[in-house]
Amino acid sequence: MKILVLNGPNLNLLGTREPQIYGTTTLADIERDLEAAAAELGVTVECVQTNHEGVLIDRIQAAHGDANGIIINAGAYSHTSLAIRDALAAVAMPYAEVHLSNIFAREPERRHSTLAAGARAVLCGFGAPGYVLALRGLVAALRA
């Protein structure tokens, strides 16, 4: 089983970007934790980060037939991108949406996600451990 992990804009700056909101864990740390959890679960993960909406869409489309599920933190695109939502719907693959902060306790423009309605689950507010929680939950759902 393969899970694609997609990270959107500015997540490459984790660890230094607004640590009071996003913590001090880096994206490399998160990816290392995901790899360890994937090995424990007997699955593989492929991690991709990009600041470009079109690259996220291309990778979602390419996942069809290549991956069994997606974990996505689309960053600010979560609140604005109908195109990413449409790509996820088009591949009809289970996905979990992850956010480091609790988006519902943030600014009004961050309290809505265009991706949430189609997601198997939405995890927000757990910080970096939310990714591993999403992986464990998604793998369990796919195995059920």
Q: Show which residues are catalytic.
A: 22, 99
**Contact criterion met (CB below 8 Å) for 124 and 98:** yes
With tokens 């959107």, the residue in question is 8
Give the strand pairing for 121-124 and 95-99: parallel
Phi and psi angles of residue 33, each rounded to the nearest 5 degrees, phi first:
-65, -40
CB atoms near residue 27 (< 10 Å): 18
- CA–CA distance, 140 with 38 (Å, rounded to integer): 12
